[in-house]
Amino acid sequence: MPDLLGLLSYGTFFLVFVTIYGLVVLGLNLQWGFTGLFNVGVAGFVAIGAYTSALLTAPDYPDQIGGLGLPIPLGWLGAMVTSGLAAFIVGVAALRLRHDYLAITTFGIAVTLQLVALNAQGLTGGPFGLQFIPKPFAGVIVDNLAWNLAYLAMAITLLGLSYVALERLVRSPWGRVLRAIREDETAAESLGKRAFRFRLQAFVIGCMLMGLGGALYAHFVGYIAPEDFLPILTFQLWTMLIVGGSGNNRGAILGTVVVWALWTLSGNVLRELVPAEHQARAATLQVVLIGLLLMLILLVRPRGLLGEEAVVSRHMKDPAGEVQEE
């Protein structure tokens, strides 16, 4: 039976990561899928959440700011607040302008945050990162597998809540305005909808979900370092959304499962096949493969596995009232 137990343990581990990434991809879907905002700094906003929650909840760090020892839910709330605040600042600077300025600005903030994480030793622990991030209910559940399962259950609950909330949100009048702005900003403005405000709201909410995802990651692994939040993370998350189908929340989650499965599988295959001394080099091929997958999807099936649903509102169920496809 030990094999089965190993498989269960591995499966739990895999699913926890899928759930955490799924949360982040849902946030990205609100930004890109529904509002058409191109965020290239996803890893940066995830990092803000992870570091905030770690600093708020961890026991006192010597020679460092932070380590306040607050309860974990407060840390997660703080993670969402700081990620949202960062999004607000970026949004105010870039969202009034052409859409690609947002891409450049979010790229910039991710680069800058990476520098802060690496160099601000007094705050982020520098290249060594932050350790001893408390694990929730670790005092109650001692067994490793049981704890992983409990964490998975909690993460799935959070993902489910976010999914339901987002589904309601994008089907509400507010969500329809987002799509209207995405499709034709001038038309939406002429109907009295202030595009900038709606964009900013969607951007901030999306980034708050990314921050929450970062916090969940930090408390699951118990240790974070700057190299956990490199541009490759942004790229993986984007691939998940595009493969699954942007503009569709179920597609976003499906894409997360598919891409993360492909990523871990290709990683395992490389580890098995390639001798140890060449593994660093072979790992670059893994990124090339995922990159080619993204480009192929963009070229062949830009809608992804599950495309955007044509019916936006339950009041518009008749087939005549179709929303045009992208």
Partner 1 sequence: MLQLIADGFVIGSVIALGAIGVTLVYSILRFANFAHGELLTWGAYLAWTALLGFAAVWGPMEPLGPFSFGWTLLASLGVAAIATAALALLVDLLLFRQLRRHGSAITLIMASFGAALVLRNLLQFIFGAVPEYYSREIQVAIRLVPRDVLGGLRITPDQVFVLGLTAVSVVGLHLFLTRTTLGKAMRATSINPQLARVTGIDVDRVIRATWVIGAVLAAVAGVFSGLTVQLRPQLGLDLLLPLFAAAILGGIGSVYGAVAGGLIVGLAESLSVPIVGAEYRAATAFIVLIAILLVRPTGLFGERP
Residues that bind partner 1 (CB under 8 A): 36, 38, 40, 93-94, 96-101, 103-105, 107-109, 111-112, 115-116, 118-119, 231-232, 235, 238-239, 242, 280-281, 284-285, 287-288, 290-292, 294-295, 298-299, 302
Q: Which is nearer to partner 1, 65 or 292 (CB)?
A: 292
Tell the smallest beta-carbon distance from residue 42 to partner 1 (Å).
Answer: 11
Alpha carbons 115 and 96: distance in angstroms, whole number:
27
User: What Rg do the C-alpha atoms of the chain give, in angstroms?
Assistant: 20
Least separation in angstroms between CB 326 and partner 1: 8
* Closer of 279 and 313 to partner 1 (Cβ): 279
For partner 1, the closer CB: 73 or 302: 302
**What is the residue whose two structure tokens read 């001893």?**
132
Q: How far is the CB of 26 from partner 1 (least distance, A)?
A: 18
As a whole number of angstroms, the distance between CA 69 and CA 224 comes to: 17
The least CB distance from residue 9 to partner 1, in Å, is: 31
Least distance in angstroms from the C-beta of 33 to partner 1: 12
**φ and ψ at residue 317, rounded to 5 degrees:** -75, -20
Cβ neighbour number for residue 191 with a 10 Å cutoff:
8
Please say which residue, 117 or 150, places its beta carbon nearer to partner 1.
Answer: 117
CB of 168 to partner 1, least distance (A): 27
What's the number of CA atoms in the CB half-sphere (13 Å) around residue 181? 29
Report which DSSP code applies to 326: -
161 or 296: CB nearest partner 1: 296
Q: Write the DSSP assignment of 172-211 as a string of letters.
A: SHHHHHHHHHHH-HHHHHHTT--HHHHHHHHHHHHHHHHH
Angle subtended at Cα 143 by Cα 137 and Cα 149, rounded to the nearest 5 degrees: 65
97 or 269: CB nearest partner 1: 97
